[in-house]
């Protein structure tokens, strides 16, 4: 199955969860996020996302991380033409972009992607190798393209956020794909084979990760 067909199938499967089930699973994911990175979040620059209705809602986790001293950022599209994404400080009244995603106001200060410590990345599908299938715009792949030029990048740590039903055995990878170091679902933390040797993961997590 090609990526476009697979994306449609996985989005349909995610929508089929229904609102109440997605809300329940989102709460479970938020607990896993706080459990995984909460103890070491003070002072860290953490980027997340404003969820679309079919995505896992991280609002509760972000509130908890902010209370623990994390500095939170959300993506903002700087150029639709060039598919360029920046990360702006969360807070204040946001506005919806053309995709219906709420973004920080234009007055919010931005931070280069390379200066972030942790990024909680939305996705449509993923596999254990850390291959991510997104919505097809390529914004995240462009934002973190610098990681492909580094032999052993120390940051940011890229953590996919997904429902467990979004995991597949193998995803067809494209040359421009930026692989994930870990994924958090309602079942817990999954260290991908791509991120297995990433020193920051060993620093952040002492709890045993899911291996299946």
| Beta strands 118-122; 157-161: pairing state | parallel
| Paired residues of 189 in beta bridges | 184
Q: Which CA distances in Å does 45 have to 77, 161, 189, 197? A: 19, 17, 20, 22
Indicate the pLDDT class of residue 210, thresholds 50, 70 and 90: very low
pTM of the predicted model over 0.85: yes
Q: Which fold has domain 3-204?
A: Rossmann fold (3.40.50)
Q: Is the pLDDT of residue 202 over 60?
A: no
What are the tens digits of pLDDT across the range 49-86? 999 999 999 999 999 999 999 999 999 999 999 999 99
Q: Is the pLDDT of residue 193 over 50?
A: yes
What are the tens digits of pLDDT across the range 130-170? 999 999 889 999 999 998 776 555 679 999 999 999 999 99
Q: Is the pLDDT of residue 12 over 70?
A: yes
């Amino acid at each position: 199955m090609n990526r476009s067909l697979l994306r449609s199938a996985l989005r349909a499967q995610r929508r089929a969860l229904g609102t109440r089930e997605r809300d329940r699973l989102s709460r479970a994911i938020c607990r896993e996020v706080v459990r995984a990175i909460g103890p070491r979040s003070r002072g860290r620059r953490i980027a997340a996302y404003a969820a679309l209705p079919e995505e896992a809602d991280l609002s509760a986790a972000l509130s908890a991380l902010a209370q623990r001293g994390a500095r939170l950022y959300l993506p903002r599209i700087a150029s639709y033409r060039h598919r360029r994404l920046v990360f702006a400080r969360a807070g204040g009244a946001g506005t919806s972009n053309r995709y219906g995603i709420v973004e920080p106001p234009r007055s919010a200060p931005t931070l280069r992607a390379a200066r972030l410590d942790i990024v909680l990345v939305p996705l449509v599908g993923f596999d254990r190798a850390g291959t991510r299938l997104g919505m097809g715009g390529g914004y995240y792949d462009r934002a973190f393209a610098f990681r492909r030029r580094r032999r052993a990048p120390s940051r940011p740590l890229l953590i996919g956020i997904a429902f467990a039903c979004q995991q597949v055995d193998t995803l067809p990878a494209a040359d421009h794909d930026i692989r994930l170091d870990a994924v958090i679902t309602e079942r817990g933390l999954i260290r991908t084979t791509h991120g297995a040797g990433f020193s920051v993961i060993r620093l952040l997590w002492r709890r045993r990760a899911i291996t299946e």
